[in-house]
């Protein structure tokens, strides 16, 4: 984000003066220091100097938004050395900068030309009495794709509209990275690094690009691929909405979508690609498959083996895989193996059959000796068609965002092995289970002869030894192991005066290293068996995750049965201290609270979707949100987190862990959890942040929880009565009502009714995003006396039963 903001800023020693128009007439010039401004003052055109450069460029930028990001540069290859630049339109309809033609101009001669800057950011040439453009800047994009701009080809003229990154934030000349619509085989968007492919979108499948997955829906935004005899292009359109956004190819080789948030006055990073190692082009080579949720991430398809075993051993799989057995096209004895949830391989060398069924496609593949695989071409439900690959399969990966199957051609013998493995799976599992149970019974019998003390100590020693061995042996974990003496010195021998807080698994101390760097030291309780699991989870997950809204793990220490984690120090402690301590909350205004809500949402989005691991936190609550010196929120405490595979939608457990008051009903009652469980907890957090009360605190009605009270007053149109008195003089009513709506959507009883976190981020970032009317929340209930008492206790980390009776309010 810092890189992006740096690029947004442009420096100029000249003050820009608008010439009070959006139009340039014949023989009229625009001097350096003057600007054209579109009719609604959305965009401006003039001369600028980027970053530290002293060169001058003619460009278009957002006129009023933060940073005034530049979206188009006319003379990016031919900068002016001084501030004497002048843009001129002559009587024939030719635009020049200091008498030089900077881009191809229209071949037709105009009789009464005008040049106009439109409110969509397009700079057009046209006849004065016509609205049809004869030339437009949208046909010559730089690094930015705006709403209404086409990315792709005009087949009649051969014009290829593509994006090319700036060379640096100080130099807008064409850099190494480019984004274009590739017409080879089946059209797909390619991100290039020079002449090499870096990332690709996959082909359009009737809904979206196959390898991207469905984008979060924002009301009024439409996007799609247009393909006909005249043009092939991708475009998105926000006409008629208040959504402001654009896509950019930056100097680091990333494709990023930014959306302007009117509520925060900031640009938000909405989507970006590539998001993981597996999205890097051909990471695992031909016939290799990449899965970010396993290690190593590269493997060969069934029936294939590494081309170079030596390279694979050194974690270089780019050479890919080769067939174990050759195909038998002559006798047509080959078959197909199904790869589910696949991001389609590169379609540069494929054949498209637009009007045949999948079964017919199989037949065509078997008849074509070059065919290596086939798949659906359209999954929208509105059409049929299939894709056939006639070369090696390149850039195949597994992704939860993908919705397609790929049918890979195998020799009959390899297919038989694959089938036997599948059919014998249950039998093998039964044998393994029998062996495991037998071994367990034997171990239990032997342990019975040992004393409880020896058994317990041996068990703990074994766990600690294995834990240390696992951490040190994991090449992925670039985590520093700190000395016990270093931590003793940093915390003054774990002095009570340095205690920052106490959790379910131990104490947290403030420490200071010899170099003056402040740290937070979490010392897990020696008597907690759960502490070992938490320790391993923290090390396994946090060390692999890097995001501005996640707490950073600096190192660890294992000494005997002492298990210690060292984090970055959060100067403002945990969120609950500000929310529920009215003395601390005096300066906790609405803008700070909204900033925290957005930050937590972004952190969850990273965990659920954008990180290399797919994490469900399972214990999201106010005390697990830490605040740095600038009140930026950071999600912490991953002891109960669960790594969710890309194929998993939900799972069930008999051991319910978490914190009472934040648990989704399907998890608390039935042990079923998913990403929607975290969304429920986040919804509770939103309401707590706005209202300043714990969910388990009873309000005016006897035994009515915060969710129930909020729901009741929402239906009565009096929900602002619950607003924390500390922010009554500093809040935006529209923004608060919108956040309460989002909070209630997140805590709806049924998981399928709750939004996914990417949609929540969009709702928070865009005031124009349409919000649904919420249904009744989960746990909108009156609890029994037993649980009334339990609710006033400290956080409960494990329970297996909940007694409740339904309340009809708001249903």
Angle at Cα 139 formed by Cα 136 and Cα 140, nearest 5°?
A: 105
Among the listed residues 619, 637, 678, 724, the single catalytic one is: 619
Q: How many CA atoms lie within 13 A of 310 on its CB side?
A: 0
What token pair was written down for 201? 């979108």
**In which residue are the tokens 């990449």 written?**
290
H helix runs in 474-516, sequence order? 484-490
For 427, which DSSP code?
Answer: H
- Between strands 171-182 and 43-50, the pairing is unpaired
At residue 597, φ and ψ (nearest 5 deg) are: -60, -50
Instruction: For residue 767, count CB atoms less than 10 angstroms from its CB and return exposed for 0-12, middle for 13-18, buried for 19 or more.
Output: middle
What distance in Å separates the CA atoms of residue 126 and residue 134, rounded to the nearest whole number? 5
Q: How many CA atoms lie within 13 A of 109 on its CB side?
A: 3
For 745, which DSSP code?
Answer: H
- Whether 143 is catalytic is no
Query: Angle, nearest 10°, between helix axes 733-746 and 675-691?
Result: 150
What token pair was written down for 811? 């249903």
- Between strands 17-18 and 34-37, the pairing is parallel
Q: Is 37 helix (H, G, I), strand (E, B) or coil?
A: strand
Write the CB contacts of 443 (distance below 8 Å, at least 6 apart in sequence): none
Write the CB contacts of 503 (distance below 8 Å, at least 6 apart in sequence): 522, 623, 637
The alpha carbon dihedral of 451, 452, 456, 462 has a sign of: positive
Residues in the chain: 811
What token pair was written down for 760? 């929540």
181-196 exposure pattern, b = at least 16 Cβ within 10 A, e = fewer: bbeebbbbbbbbeeee
What distance in Å separates the CA atoms of residue 263 and residue 561, rounded to the nearest whole number? 50
Please state whether the peptide bond connecting residue 721 to the residue before it is cis, i.e. omega within 30 degrees of 0. no
What distance in Å separates the CA atoms of residue 237 and residue 592, rounded to the nearest whole number? 33
Catalytic residues: 619
């Amino acid at each position: 984000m810092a890189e992006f903001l740096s690029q947004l800023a442009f420096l100029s020693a000249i003050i820009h003066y608008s010439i009070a128009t959006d139009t340039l007439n014949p023989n009229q010039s625009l001097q350096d220091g003057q600007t054209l401004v579109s009719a609604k003052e959305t965009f401006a055109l003039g001369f600028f100097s980027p970053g530290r450069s002293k060169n001058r460029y003619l460009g278009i930028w957002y006129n009023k938004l933060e940073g005034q990001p530049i979206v188009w540069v006319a003379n990016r290859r031919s900068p002016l050395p001084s501030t004497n630049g002048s843009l001129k339109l002559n009587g024939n309809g030719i635009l020049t900068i200091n008498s030089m033609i900077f881009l191809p101009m229209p071949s037709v001669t105009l009789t009464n030309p005008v040049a106009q800057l439109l409110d969509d950011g397009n700079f057009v040439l046209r006849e004065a009495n016509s609205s049809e453009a004869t030339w437009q800047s949208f046909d010559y994009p730089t690094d930015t794709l705006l709403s209404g701009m086409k990315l792709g080809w005009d087949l009649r003229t051969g014009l290829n509209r593509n994006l090319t990154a700036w060379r640096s934030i100080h130099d807008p000349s064409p850099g190494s990275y480019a984004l274009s619509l590739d017409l080879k085989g089946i059209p797909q968007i390619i991100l290039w690094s020079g002449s090499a492919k870096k990332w690709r979108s996959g082909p359009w499948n009737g809904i979206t690009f196959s390898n991207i997955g469905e984008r979060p829906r924002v009301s009024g935004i439409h996007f799609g691929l247009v393909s006909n005899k005249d043009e092939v292009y991708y475009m998105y359109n926000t006409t008629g909405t208040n959504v402001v956004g654009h896509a950019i190819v930056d100097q680091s080789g990333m494709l990023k979508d930014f959306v302007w948030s009117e509520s925060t006055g900031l640009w938000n990073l909405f989507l970006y690609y590539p998001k993981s190692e597996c999205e890097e082009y051909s990471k695992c080579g031909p016939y290799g498959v990449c899965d970010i949720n396993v290690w190593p991430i590269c493997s060969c398809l069934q029936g294939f083996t590494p081309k170079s075993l030596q390279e694979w051993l050194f974690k270089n799989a780019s050479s890919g895989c080769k067939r174990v057995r050759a195909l038998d096209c002559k006798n047509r004895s080959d078959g197909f193996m199904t790869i589910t949830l696949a991001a389609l391989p590169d379609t540069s060398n494929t054949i498209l059959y637009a009007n045949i069924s999948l079964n017919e496609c199989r037949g065509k593949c078997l008849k074509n000796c070059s065919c290596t695989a086939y798949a659906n071409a359209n999954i929208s439900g509105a059409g049929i068609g299939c894709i056939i690959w006639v070369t090696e399969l390149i850039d195949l990966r597994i992704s939860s965002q993908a919705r397609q199957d790929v049918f890979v051609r195998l020799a009959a013998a390899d297919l038989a092995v694959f089938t036997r493995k599948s059919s014998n799976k249950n039998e093998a599992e039964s044998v393994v289970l029998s062996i495991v149970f037998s071994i367990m019974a034997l171990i239990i019998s032997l342990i019975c002869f040992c004393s409880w003390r020896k058994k317990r100590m041996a068990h703990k020693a074994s766990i600690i030894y294995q834990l240390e061995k696992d951490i040190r042996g994991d090449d992925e974990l670039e985590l520093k192991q700190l000395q016990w003496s270093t931590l003793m010195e940093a915390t003054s021998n774990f002095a009570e005066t340095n205690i920052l807080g106490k959790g379910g698994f131990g104490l947290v101390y403030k420490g200071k290293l010899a170099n003056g760097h402040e740290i937070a030291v979490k010392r897990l309780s020696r008597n907690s068996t759960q502490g070992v699991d938490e320790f391993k989870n923290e090390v396994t997950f946090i060390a692999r995750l890097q995001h501005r809204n996640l707490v950073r793990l600096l190192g660890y220490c294992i000494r005997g049965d002492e298990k210690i984690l060292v984090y970055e120090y959060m100067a403002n402690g945990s969120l609950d201290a500000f929310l529920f301590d009215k003395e601390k909350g005096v300066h906790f205004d609405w803008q700070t609270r909204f900033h925290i809500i957005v930050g937590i949402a972004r952190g969850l989005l990273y965990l659920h979707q954008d990180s290399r691991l797919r994490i469900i936190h399972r214990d999201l609550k106010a005390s697990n949100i830490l605040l740095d010196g600038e009140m930026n929120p950071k999600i912490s405490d991953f002891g109960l987190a669960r790594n969710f595979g890309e194929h998993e939608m939900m799972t069930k457990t008999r051991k319910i862990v978490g914190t009472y008051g934040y648990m989704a009903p399907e998890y608390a009652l039935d042990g079923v959890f998913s990403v929607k469980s975290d969304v429920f907890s986040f919804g509770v957090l939103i309401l707590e942040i706005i209202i300043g009360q714990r969910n388990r605190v009873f309000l005016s009605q006897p035994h009515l929880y915060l969710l129930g009270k909020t729901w009741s007053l929402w239906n009565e149109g009096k929900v602002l009565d619950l607003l924390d008195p500390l922010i009554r003089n500093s809040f935006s009513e529209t923004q608060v009502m919108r956040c309460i709506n989002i909070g209630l959507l997140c805590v709806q009883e049924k998981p399928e009714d709750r939004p996914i976190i990417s949609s929540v981020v969009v709702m928070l970032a865009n005031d124009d995003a349409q919000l649904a009317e919420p249904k009744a929340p989960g746990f909108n209930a009156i609890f029994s006396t037993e649980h009334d008492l339990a609710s006033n206790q400290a956080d409960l980390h494990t329970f297996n039963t909940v007694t409740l009776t339904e309340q009809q309010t708001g249903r």
